[in-house]
Structure formats: structure tokens, C-alpha cells
């Protein structure tokens, strides 16, 4: 028999870094009550995890915080590219890439773009908005243990300030508690992958003269390759605050205590190429790059997200972005199950969809580290030898061959060769500029709180699809918005851009329809008209939502 808990919430989130905070934001947007506990006393103070890729920014755009993030990221708004050079003194070296979006081609695929916002600047934005949405976020509170049963999870949480222990009863627990995840370890969930790749000591420092040495080279990161003092230099404000990643080799017996301020100062000066550079070290933290993926993302009512589910090399900023996208995938599924419009089996598709993405992305991250010759990384044969090339297909074009989708090819690769966002089930729905009630929106702005059915405004079949969608929404208790797109007066959405053929963009005829999930992925599509559109749509919804 269950003892009465001190608190009851549908979802208990463990971990308040980028992934936990993003999950809190997404749950709050969907009206899901939750509590978040984080053992540290506040958000990150170290400028790390700065690269937010285009898919992550799409999620933050729909969640309404893109402007706030861009404000927080203003200091680095003009920084682009990665430079590799023996020293910053002089003009030697080469750009591994100069622009992240050369020629502006990304605008064809997305209403937004990459954003360089350090974790210590991004987390407070997420925290403020999550709390404004009603999230119960508790810092300096630590999950000590938990127990699950057929009806929920009981968490035993300690308030580290007053040392009080209290209980939280939740329907589900989400562990976003980092790479050494106590929750994952307690569940006995193993990990696959090569394991540790390399280690660095990350140093924050002040230098007023370094800006003159850097000059007008506004890089995201600079790899300095002096064999006696290699490392990575990252600007924090382009003026006097900087971060330097120095290689650390614990595998050779090198101890962290050996990285004294004197040693680090010498290392930075030699790496930069200025023997008398002013260096004031303000902080240091060690970190290890690894490639590992949990063998399962779900154990009954406990689910893993972010670094507790996967670790990736930092090159390419894949890790935190994959974790934030985990949270987004999971948030709508939790909301659907808790609100009763999906069956519990929908949560099984979280593992089915996200784990293969982590496996493919972590391999690509290691390969990227090899391409960039990341300081301190001396890969053994077989590690980092994955497919190379561009990364847009990895960050935006990944897909779910299996999961909460109908009609996807289960044999297709999770990451396709090129960029193909043409409405196939399991892929991120295409971006088109539209107008709704006079407001310019992207199709992606439609997807958050409900399923969405798109059909054509110029055909009787389009009208039949929309009517079917609205009847199901009225009678079945499924949040489903149905829109007709086109140029006619009866259109719910009209075109506002060079692409004026939604059906071609989504791989259907004007008689067809496309069903898009709340996370913006295509759940199902009908290329042509249906003899019984309501029956076809209801069957597809049942399969996607795992309804009995």
C-alpha cells in the first residue's frame, strides 16, 4: 500500500540543465504539471554548449522564446566559422568552414537558423519562461532514490539547503541527470559505443590584448595546433572574456592537479603565439568527450533524456541539441498519454524513434572530431570513421523509419544521404511561408499543441479531408486542427512566399492530405482522395497514437 506522498505531479523531471529546462518549457507549453529537481544551486556558470542548431531553434521558435534567446546571444551574433591555425600571431591557418550557411540556402528549409548562445546565457532564459508557465523548478534539491510500481513512481527528494527529505508521487519520471546518470545506473541500463574519446580542461580567462591579436577573425572556435601547446579558443564577448580547452591525458597518468594557473597561462600564451599575453584565469572545469548510447530509453514509467541517454563528442554541438530534441519528442507524447488521447504504448515510440537518431548522430559527431583534428583526440582505429561531409542532413533531415508513424519505409536510413524534406512519413514536415488571419507564419508554426491535418482549398477532396478531421476532433477527443491551404477565399491558410504549392512540397496531389504530429514530424499522408476519408484518417490516428 502506498504511503501518502508530500507532492503529486504527473511528471517528475530530474536534472535542471539544458535538457531538463527545455523539457520543463515544452511540458509547460502543453499544460502538463510537473516538478523539476536539480542538485546544483543554480543554472550553469560556465560558457559551454553554445551551438544551437537549426532544428533546436525551430523548437524554441514555436515555443515563443526565439527572440529572448537571440537577445541573450547578441554578443556572438557576428561570429561564424571554425579556424585552424598553428598560432593567432600573423595570418597563417585555414578556415575549416567560413560560414555556417553560405549563400543563405538554409532559408529554403527553415524559418530560422543556427544561434550561438552559450549555456550560461541560454539556461536563465529557459528557466524564466518555464517558471512563467507554471513549472515547479527546485534547485539545490536532489533525488536520492525512487521506486516505481504499476501506477507511478515515488521519488525521495532531499532539499539540500535545509536537509529535509520529502516524497514526490508522479505518473512518470524523466531522467535528464547527465552522463553519469544515477537514475540510469539504478535501473541497471547499460550503454553501447566506444566509450571515452578524449579529455580536456576548459579554462575561462580574461585578456584585453587578445582581441587585438584575433583582429577581425570572428570565429565560433579556433583550433590552435602548436604540438607543444594545442587547444581550442572560443570567444565569450569578443573583447576580453575567452574560453580555452586544453588537452588532458588521464590515460597517460596525467592528473588534473597538474593544470595549475601557471601551467595554463604558459599554455595559452604559447598556443596563441604571444609570449607576454595578459592572461587572468577566472575558472576551470574538466570534461571528457565520449561516444555512448543507452541500451534502452524507457524502463516502464522512467524515461531517459539528454546525456543520461547518450554522450557525443562536442564537435558539431550535436549532444545538447539531440537532448533538447529528445525532450521535445517526449513532451507531446507524455501530454497525449496523460490527457488520455493516446494509449500508453505511444511512450514506447520514444525509444524507437530517438535511440536510432542518437546512434547515428553520435557516430557523426566522432567523425566530425576526426575531420577537425580536435585537440587531444587521437582516435584508435575504427573510432570516428563514420560518414563524413555536411551536417545539415544530420541536424535537420533525420527521420523516424519506425515509431509513431504510418507509411514510413522501415528500411530507410535514419540520416539520409542528402536533404529531402518532402513530406515522407517520419520526416520533419516541410517549411512554407503562409498567411493566417493576416499574420505571416511558417507551416512549422502550426505544430505544437495538436495534430494538424493539411489539405487543399481548391478541391472537393480537400474539403472532405478537412470536414473529416474536424468531425474526429469533435467526437473522438483528439486535439486535431484541420486546415485547407490555397488561394481561394475558403482557404484557411494562404501562400506568402515563392513556394505556392503545398501539395507538391508534401509529396501529395491536391486531392490528398497530410497528418503532422505536434512535434512537426509527418505522421501519415494520403497522396490522393479517399472514398471514406474519415475512416482512413481515424485508422491512421489509431495506429499513430497506439489507441486500443
Domain ranges of the chain: 7-192+291-395, 433-545
What is the CATH topology of the domain spanning 433-545? Glutaredoxin (3.40.30)
pLDDT digits (tens, 9 = 90+) for 488-517: 999 999 999 777 899 999 999 999 999 999
Quote the pLDDT of residue 31: 98
Average pLDDT over residues 440-461: 97
pTM of the model as a whole: 0.94
Residue 386 has pLDDT above 80, yes or no: no
Question: Which position has the higher pLDDT, 51 or 545?
Answer: 545
CA distance 463 to 460: 5
Cα torsion for 28, 32, 34, 40, to the nearest 10°?
Answer: -30
Spatial neighbors of 196 by CB under 8 A, at least 6 apart, are 251, 288, 289, 290
pLDDT above 90: percentage of residues in the chain:
80
Quote the pLDDT of residue 1: 43
Residues written for the chain: 548
What are the beta bridge partners of residue 231? Answer: 224
Quote the pLDDT of residue 383: 57
Strand 298-299, strand 280-294: pairing? unpaired
pLDDT digits (tens, 9 = 90+) for 104-135: 788 899 999 999 998 989 999 999 999 999 99
Domain 433-545 in the same topology as domain 7-192+291-395: no
Question: Which position has the higher pLDDT, 449 or 389?
Answer: 449
Contact indicator for 447, 517 with CB cutoff of 8 Å: yes
Q: Which residue has the cell 570534461?
A: 287
Q: Which of 341, 306, 300 minimizes the C-alpha distance to 327? A: 306
Quote the pLDDT of residue 376: 67
Residue 375 has pLDDT above 90, yes or no: no
Q: DSSP string spanning 35-46? A: EEEESSSSS--S
Cα–Cα–Cα angle for 46, 49, 54, rounded to 5 degrees: 145
CA distance 424 to 523: 9
Question: Which position has the higher pLDDT, 257 or 384?
Answer: 257
Q: Which residue has the cell 539545490?
A: 140
CA distance 138 to 259: 34
Spatial neighbors of 534 by CB under 8 A, at least 6 apart, are 468, 471, 472
Q: Which CATH class is domain 7-192+291-395?
A: alpha beta
The values of phi and psi at residue 492, to 5°, are -80, -30
CA distance 64 to 68: 9
CA distance 233 to 247: 12
Split at pLDDT 50, 70, 90, the class of 242 is very high
Average pLDDT, the chain: 93
From start to end of 321-468, where are the E strands?
433-436, 439-442, 451-456
Cell numbers representing residue 338 in the block: 496523460
Least confident of 2-6, 101-105, 148-152: 101-105
Strand 494-495, strand 136-139: pairing? unpaired
Cell numbers representing residue 499 in the block: 513556394
Amino acid at each position: 500500500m502506498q504511503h501518502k506522498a508530500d507532492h503529486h505531479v504527473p511528471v517528475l523531471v530530474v536534472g535542471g540543465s539544458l535538457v531538463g529546462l527545455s523539457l520543463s518549457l515544452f511540458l509547460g507549453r502543453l499544460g502538463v504539471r510537473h516538478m523539476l529537481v536539480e542538485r546544483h544551486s543554480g543554472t550553469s556558470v560556465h560558457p559551454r554548449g553554445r551551438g544551437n542548431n537549426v532544428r533546436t531553434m525551430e523548437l524554441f521558435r514555436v515555443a515563443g522564446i526565439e527572440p529572448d534567446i537571440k537577445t541573450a546571444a547578441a554578443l556572438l551574433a557576428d561570429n561564424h566559422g571554425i579556424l585552424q591555425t598553428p598560432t593567432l600571431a600573423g595570418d597563417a591557418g585555414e578556415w575549416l568552414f567560413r560560414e555556417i550557411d553560405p549563400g543563405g540556402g538554409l532559408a529554403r528549409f527553415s524559418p530560422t537558423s543556427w544561434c550561438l548562445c552559450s549555456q550560461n546565457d541560454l539556461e536563465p532564459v529557459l528557466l524564466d519562461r518555464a517558471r512563467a508557465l507554471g513549472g515547479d523548478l527546485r534547485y539545490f534539491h536532489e533525488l536520492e532514490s525512487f521506486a516505481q510500481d504499476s501506477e507511478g513512481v515515488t521519488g525521495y527528494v532531499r532539499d539540500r539547503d535545509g536537509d529535509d527529505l520529502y516524497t514526490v508521487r508522479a505518473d512518470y519520471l524523466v531522467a535528464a541527470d547527465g552522463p553519469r546518470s544515477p537514475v540510469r545506473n539504478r535501473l541497471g541500463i547499460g550503454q553501447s559505443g566506444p566509450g571515452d574519446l578524449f579529455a580536456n580542461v576548459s579554462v575561462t580567462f580574461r585578456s584585453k590584448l587578445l582581441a587585438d591579436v584575433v583582429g577581425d577573425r570572428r570565429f565560433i572556435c579556433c583550433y590552435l595546433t602548436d604540438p607543444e601547446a594545442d587547444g581550442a579558443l572560443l570567444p565569450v564577448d569578443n573583447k576580453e572574456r575567452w574560453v580555452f580547452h586544453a588537452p588532458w591525458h588521464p590515460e597517460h597518468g596525467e592528473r588534473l592537479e597538474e593544470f595549475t594557473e601557471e601551467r595554463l597561462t604558459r599554455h595559452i600564451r604559447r598556443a596563441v603565439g604571444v609570449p607576454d599575453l595578459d592572461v587572468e584565469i577566472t575558472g576551470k572545469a574538466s570534461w571528457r568527450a565520449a561516444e555512448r548510447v543507452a541500451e534502452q530509453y524507457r524502463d516502464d514509467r522512467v524515461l531517459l533524456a539528454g546525456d543520461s541517454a547518450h554522450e557525443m563528442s562536442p564537435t558539431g554541438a550535436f549532444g545538447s541539441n539531440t537532448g533538447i530534441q529528445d525532450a521535445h519528442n517526449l513532451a507531446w507524447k507524455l501530454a497525449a498519454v496523460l490527457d488520455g488521447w493516446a494509449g500508453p504504448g505511444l511512450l514506447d515510440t520514444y525509444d524507437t524513434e530517438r535511440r536510432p537518431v542518437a546512434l547515428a548522430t553520435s557516430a557523426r559527431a566522432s567523425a566530425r572530431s576526426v575531420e577537425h583534428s580536435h585537440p587531444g583526440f587521437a582516435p584508435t582505429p575504427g573510432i570516428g570513421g563514420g560518414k563524413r561531409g555536411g551536417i545539415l542532413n544530420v541536424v535537420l533531415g533525420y527521420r523516424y523509419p519506425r515509431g509513431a508513424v504510418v507509411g514510413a519505409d522501415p528500411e530507410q536510413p535514419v540520416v539520409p544521404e542528402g536533404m529531402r524534406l518532402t513530406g515522407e512519413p517520419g520526416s520533419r514536415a516541410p517549411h512554407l511561408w503562409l498567411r493566417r488571419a493576416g499574420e505571416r507564419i511558417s507551416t512549422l508554426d502550426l505544430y505544437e499543441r495538436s495534430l494538424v491535418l493539411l489539405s487543399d482549398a481548391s478541391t472537393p477532396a480537400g474539403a472532405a479531408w478537412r470536414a473529416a478531421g474536424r468531425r474526429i476532433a469533435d467526437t473522438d477527443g483528439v486535439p486535431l486542427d484541420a486546415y485547407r491551404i490555397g488561394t481561394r477565399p475558403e482557404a484557411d491558410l494562404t501562400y506568402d512566399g515563392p513556394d505556392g504549392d503545398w501539395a507538391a512540397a508534401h509529396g501529395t496531389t491536391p486531392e490528398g492530405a497530410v497528418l503532422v504530429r505536434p512535434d512537426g514530424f509527418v505522421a501519415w499522408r494520403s497522396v490522393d482522395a479517399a472514398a471514406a476519408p474519415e475512416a482512413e484518417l481515424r485508422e491512421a490516428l489509431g495506429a499513430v497514437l497506439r489507441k486500443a
